Structure 1
Amino acid sequence: MIPPFIDTHHHLWDLENNPYPWLVEPIDHFVGDYSAIRKSWLVSDLHEGAKNVPLIKSVHVQAEWDHNLDPVDETIWLQSVADDPGSRGMPNAIIGFADLSDPDVEATLERHADNANWRGIRHMLNWSDDKVNFRFAGSGGLMSDSQWREGFKLIGKFNGSFDLQIWPWQLEEAARLGNDIPEVPIILNHTAMPIGRSPGELREWRKGLESLGEAPNVSAKISALGMLDQTWDAESIAPFVLDIIDILGVDRCMFGSNFPVDSLFSDYETVWKAYDEITCDFTDSERAKLFCTNAEKYYCI
């Protein structure tokens, strides 16, 4: 039976009222055709998807609100959603966007922090020198850039954490960031996105996780494995789930759905049944951490 859980990674978007350019005009995305999610997905849709599973809290991660506009407006909207009695308090945590390279980012962070459910920032850093559709950042090497690092440090001033989204080949750079600036909690997104499945690529993923795990401020979300294996089932994703738990430890891992993006590849209930099946041999205490209490700890909810 699926234990009570916190969904540590989902999105909401209201396309009639809010600006998400990538959902209005399609882009060349590594997942391929995502037309099925180019429609509003609201907290009521989250509740509908979870109607047969024990979802108790949720974490909303920034969904690429138009970067030419004020990113704090997304957080303000999400706070209004959470404050509505019909939302059941969700999202309980809000991870907003800020360009950490911006010399004036402190003012943006301060305004994010004015919202009760704000908990941190995601500035997507995925970069590939070879594949343009693997680039979600403006440039590579931001984690080593001095100006970007100054912005990163400021997250700690507002008691926030950083949601880290990168490819496996960027994990070594992320490890240096974590060790150099341990005062800012880092929450790794999407199982470190193991998109390559050759033996060498899997070794790179595991080695990178081992390096990142040496940083004292790192935890990780197991999520988006469907986005990386579009014909997935519990058996195919189990090695990734079990490996990251083995490398980082039960105390530093938690589960997320990545909905509605991963709704392209399965329904909501199926994702959580898979996590339940994969961890069926874990103790009740270990499962409680993975499904719930680690998220309460790392997202302060």
Structure 2
Amino acid sequence: MASQRDSWLALTVEEPLEPDLPICDPHHHFWDREGDRYLLDQLSQDLAGGHNIAQTVFIECHSMYRASGPVEMRSVGEVEFVQGVAAQSASGQYGPTEVAAGIVGNANLMLGASVQPVLEALQAASGNRFRGIRFSCAWDASPEVGSPSSNTPGMMLDSRFREGFACLQRLGLSFDALVYHTQLNELADLAAAFPDTATILNHVGRPLGVGPYAGRRDEVFADWQQGIAAVAQRENVVVKLGGFGNLISGHDWHQRATPPTSWEVVETIGPWLTYCIEQFGPQRCMFESNFPVDKASYSYTTVWNAFKQFSRDFSETERAAMFQGTAVRSYLL
């Protein structure tokens, strides 16, 4: 049965552009929450829109944690769950896409060195697909922005956090960074301290557009540019280009009578994408869907059409990197 959101998205329908262009979608989630389910069936419906999604990477979202056992170990349940979904996909019954070819889990780095057994358990839960962790460091003083209750300002500078972070390098794992644009300088400092740990910046650094940041787009853009430039100096960091459909970005597409077209999306996000690519270079950039979070604002077909239209003047080699190569290299697929 179609949801109200699906009915709204159906008001703007596009044919996929360049349907043969190979894509690795390096950022999507699975969850089963009350009134909100996004599992393999739902992803498969989005993939059926016609883009050539060869592989995907699952990113943690606090889903399917174990109901009991040591608190720090409960996140292992999520990787166990997604390993099973990946096995479903590998049957070929759900289409040709290699879903969850890479899996990124969650572990609490504030445990310090005690996080290592958790990381080892995550690896054991998916020996062939587990690649690293995402541990949110997002923090802002405004309650309108919202931050995880356990997060504190300056987390990435904390000695206990860095003790835990050091375990990633020892185990050959990557770190997906979920921060706000106001924290990018802090992330640059962390990446400089651990130059051998592959770090993947999510959602172009999550420039904020709600709460005290609403109506201040130019000021936010200028602050964000400075932070992005600092992070881009760290060669061990790559960046995901996407995440603009998240309501925290403040674009308010979800409040329209009809969803935006891909051209409308490009007009809004183009300057942010351009600056990231100028700073990082195409070989350190990867387009991402961030589904189903961004499904609040546009369809899966629309967002990939937007990326294709935006990148049409780049070379074939540059586009191949941004649509597939950077993700495959970063997640060792």
Give your verdict on TM over 0.5. yes
- What is the aligned partner in structure 1 of residue 12 from structure 2? none
Q: 1:264 to 1:198 in 2, by over 3 A?
A: closer
Pairing of 1:40-189 with structure 2 (within 5 A) = 40-51=37-48, 52-65=50-63, 68=71, 70-84=74-88, 85=91, 86=93, 88-103=97-112, 104-114=114-124, 115=126, 116-131=128-143, 133-136=145-148, 137-189=150-202
Structure 1 residue matching 2:99: 3-state secondary structure: coil
Per-residue CA deviations over 1:69-106 (Å, capped at 9, x if unaligned) read 71011001111111221355310011100000114211
Aligned mates of 1:230, 1:55 — CA distance in 2? 27
Q: Is the 8 A contact 2:54 2:98 kept in 1?
A: no
Structure 2 residue aligned with 1:30:
none
Query: What CA distance in whole angstroms lies between the structure 1 residues aligned with 2:27 and 2:202?
Result: 8
Q: In 2, Cα distance between the equivalents of 1:214 and 1:76?
A: 36
Question: SS of the counterpart of 1:273?
Answer: helix
Structure 1 range deviating more: 196-205 or 50-59: 196-205
Q: 2:203 aligns with which of 176, 186, 190?
A: 190
Checking the alignment, whether the CA contact within 8 Å between 2:270 and 2:310 is kept in structure 1 is yes
Could you report, residue by residue, the CA deviation over 1:53-72 in whole angstroms, capped at 9, with x for unpaired residues?
Answer: 11110011001235957101
Q: Report the TM-score when normalising by structure 1.
A: 0.89
| Distance in 2 of aligned mates of 1:272 and 1:130 | 32
2:244 aligned residue? 225
What is the percent sequence identity of the aligned residues? 30
Larger Rg: 2
Structure 1 unaligned blocks of 5 or more:
16-22, 25-37
Structure 1 contact 209–244 (Cα < 8 Å) conserved: yes
After the TM superposition, which parts of structure 1 deviate over 4 Å for at least 4 consecutive aligned residues? 66-69
Q: What CA deviation, in whole Å up to 9, does each residue of 1:126-167 have, x standing for no partner?
A: 101233643135212110000111111111122110000111
The aligned residue for residue 277 of structure 1 is 309
Separation in structure 2 between the aligned mates of residue 74 and residue 89 of structure 1, nearest angstrom: 19
Per the alignment, in what secondary structure is the counterpart of residue 282 of structure 1? Answer: coil
Conservation of the 8 A alpha-carbon contact between 2:232 and 2:280: yes
SS of residue in 2 equivalent to 1:194: coil
**Cα distance in 1, alignment partners of residues 304 and 280 from structure 2:** 21
Structure 2 unaligned residues grouped into runs of 5+: 1-17, 210-215, 254-259
The 5 A counterparts of 1:225-244 are: 225-227=244-246, 228=249, 229-231=251-253, 233-244=265-276
Q: Aligned AA for 1:149? A: R
Say if 1:132 and 1:195 are closer, same or farther in 2 by CA, change over 3 A.
closer
SS of residue matched to 2:37 = coil
1:257 to 289, 293, 300: 289
Moved more, 57-66 or 193-202: 193-202
Q: Deviations over 1:238-293 (max 9, x none)?
A: 11111111111111000111111111111110000000000011111110000001
Q: Secondary structure at the match of 2:139?
A: coil
